[in-house]
Amino acid sequence: MKPSDTRKLASVDINLSVLGLGCAQMGHLSKRTPLAEAKDAAEAAWDLGIRYFDTAPFYGFTRSERRLGTLLDDRVRDDFRVSTKVGRLMIPERVYRETDEGFAFPAPFVQAYDYSYDAILKSFEASQQRLGLAMIDILYVHDIGAMTHGDRHGHYWSQLTAGGGFRALSELRADGRIRAFGIGVNECDVLRNTLDECDMDVAMLAGRYTLLEQDSHDLLDRCLSHGTRIVVAGAFNSGVLAGNNSFNYGEAPPEILRRVLALREAASEFEIPIQAAALQFPLAHPAVVSVVVGARNADQITHNAAWLEMEIPASFWQSLSKKGLIVDGAPLPE
């Protein structure tokens, strides 16, 4: 499989490269990313055939969108696909912070969650300005769900439903300002609820369908039958499958580390980098159209592309299945 290979959404004529570039690092995720490094990463991705770029107002508190818009400015618009997100309004505030929500030295804005009709339109129009795009291919509702909002989830869910948030997204799609919409989340329950609530085209699901976690395969089956396609993010589960001890944006618990160790040992038997298996596994599910990876520089995205292209024998996947490391019902790569 090559990064330049594409898969089509079911409900709209959009093809996404099977490997996408996630642009949180452009917003100084965890530490500063010099603009020159961000430029090198974007250019390396382009040279590899990657044509799908995902960002959000939240990433660097507007910095990622502004950078990505600049880096794509000389490209032919029909040659690439961009997704961004709504659900947070970025409010200018003259405040200096060394870090905020995991981003180093964020831009002078603070976030205000708002998923209502007016807020969706306002957030979208601000993203148009930052990206320099009149039309945005995919718009995700960002971080709706109890994982983010706790006991306030009901309030924000009501903004999307009774408050007209989903209606705003449908109108943006109907008049061509966006081509597709869905949600971008880290949890499965809210994806199930959204399938019941609206006619979404695609969902970005982070960390919940991976080499480490496959229990959501039945939910992906349901998405497939609904005509909703999946973009997988967090294929390394926050890094625990890529060599560190981070899982779900925190320290990995012992049971997760034991499962990762078993996966590493199984991969070692076949002399396969676990990162290669982690990138290729989700793409075996027919609902999945792309895997988005973050990259801080050209070397990182080049390594990800090489892992995606690596030949992995069917016997490896069958071995994982026999060892109980892939659950029954989850499709195996061929």
Among 25, 61, 56, smallest CA distance to 41 is for 25
Looking at 5, 31, 52, 85, which residue is catalytic? 85
Q: How far apart are CA 86 and CA 189, in angstroms?
A: 19
Looking at 54, 137, 143, 201, which residue is catalytic? 54
269: how many CB neighbours lie within 10 A of its CB? 10
Q: In whole angstroms, how far apart are CA 104 and each of 28, 31, 169, 319? A: 5, 5, 31, 42
Query: Is 31 a catalytic site residue?
Result: no
Looking at 8, 13, 59, 96, which residue is catalytic? 59
Contact between 22 and 5 under an 8 Å Cβ cutoff? The reply is no
- For residue 177, count CB atoms less than 10 angstroms from its CB and return exposed for 0-12, middle for 13-18, buried for 19 or more: middle
Query: Is 137 a catalytic site residue?
Result: no
Q: How far apart are CA 74 and CA 36, in angstroms?
A: 16
> Which residues, at least 6 apart from 188, have a Cβ–Cβ distance to it below 8 Å?
205, 208, 216, 219
Contact between 82 and 130 under an 8 Å Cβ cutoff? The reply is no
Strands 19-22 and 88-92: unpaired
187: how many CB neighbours lie within 10 A of its CB? 18
Query: Is 59 a catalytic site residue?
Result: yes
Please state the three-class secondary structure of 77-146 as a single string: HHHCEEEEEECEEEEECCCCCCEECCEECCCCEEEEECCCHHHHHHHHHHHHHHHCCCCEEEEEEECCCH
Q: How far apart are CA 292 and CA 140, in angstroms?
A: 14
CA-angle at 34, arms to 31 and 35, nearest 5°: 135
> Looking at the annotation, which residues are catalytic?
54, 59, 85
